[in-house]
Chains A and B, each alone.
Chain A
């Protein structure tokens, strides 16, 4: 019963924050609203009994990626309102692309009958122990491939950051 109210609260916060990301005039406000949206989504993960995912979501998105966003926006001082005039055709294209993604997502989840959403405590996959076992036993190869991809991205970032490279 209580979790139902929490669900509605978190959902409205997430939707409000997501809308404000688009509406806000100042880039820095957009970044902060996006962070708020991430926190609301982390709350949803906890409601689904996926605590590990929730905390990692906060560490990675709110703690690392959004801090870097904030960093960039602050350093570039992108605080002048309306600095990015967009052509109408770009706006039009963006709306169509976004709408198509929305339709695809709704189409996918409409037919699904996810047991975990109805009864989160039934499934313990979100807890660290179970998640680790699944990752390192059933999905070892994809997991290792992911880490190789990650390493490649890190090396790439270091290479791009070097000033004098032949």
Chain B
């Protein structure tokens, strides 16, 4: 193991960490601007030009708020909750291919931190442990509202994980690999998975909304019923972590949707441009971020358009509509693949 390899991986990981954090930071501003636009008002516009400094002001405010902890709270778990949420939110970015590769001095540097051959399963694993932060925080607050919020979050995430998994299985069946890098590489040019798996894409999208606890599935923090849900007792930067992790999750979900169904760093007519490998791969990364931005916008669009579901509706949708649809999708994909192999 040479040191340049370690340094390069470390740099890449740091860069992606910083990008995720900055994107999440400015996503809060964009979300508020969007909300303003949808509700026919200005949104934040006082801090800097067009409110460009608003996220910094928000962060500063959160740091200077009173650090409150309920007397009957479990001290260690109360702090562990938000920290774990943040940590798990950042873990997924390690397997997402942010670009193809860059050649410097004859050596090829991949723009993916870890191209493990079970990338999809890794994403699943992170998804399935994502509930811990919310559950621990909600329980440790020792508050009924927080506990109900945590339990809602956990049951919602477990329910929608199933349909999401089934939706991804069809992708695995089609591509024959579990590696995310390979899945993206197979969608070269305009050969995107969404053309073959429109239903799978739709299921994945709905489940992604539920997994990130975003409207219309934001029942864990439903303020009309639960005050603030699982973070009722949190204040200061601990609350900030919970809210911030939601934006990171949104960013990562958008990246996952783009790389699984919309070709990741691939874009149409990429072979006809006649560009060098490095320029092409930089352009590809740019295309990837354009796709991520679009899906991020979709998350916000839906949040400020649709009302919140009722809890029984949410469960019915998950178990009685999405899962059967996902199973049908798996069967259809299997049949088509079988017929194709026999022709």
Interface residues of A (CB under 8 A from B): 26, 28, 32, 35, 51-52, 55-56, 58-59, 62-64, 67, 70-71, 74-75, 127-128
Contacts and interface: CB of A to CB of B under 8 A. Distances in A.
12 contacts: A26-B74, A56-B121, A58-B129, A62-B125, A62-B128, A63-B125, A63-B129, A67-B158, A70-B154, A71-B154, A74-B151, A128-B118
B135 A127 contact: no
A55 B124 contact: yes
Main secondary structure of the interface of A (DSSP, over half): helix
A125 to B, nearest CB: 14
A53 to B, nearest CB: 10
Given A32-B136, A67-B135, A74 B147 contact: yes
A51 B117 contact: yes
B131 interface: yes
Nearest to A60: B128
Contacts of B178: 128
A63 B77 CA distance: 18
B109 interface: no
A163 B341 CA distance: 47
Nearest to A77: B147
A19 to B, nearest CB: 17
Chain B contact patch, size range: 20 to 34
Nearest to B142: A79
Contacts of A51: 116-118
Contacts of A127: 117
A58 B135 contact: no
B26 interface: no
Which of A55, A64, A71, A127 has most chain B Cβ within 10 Å?
A55
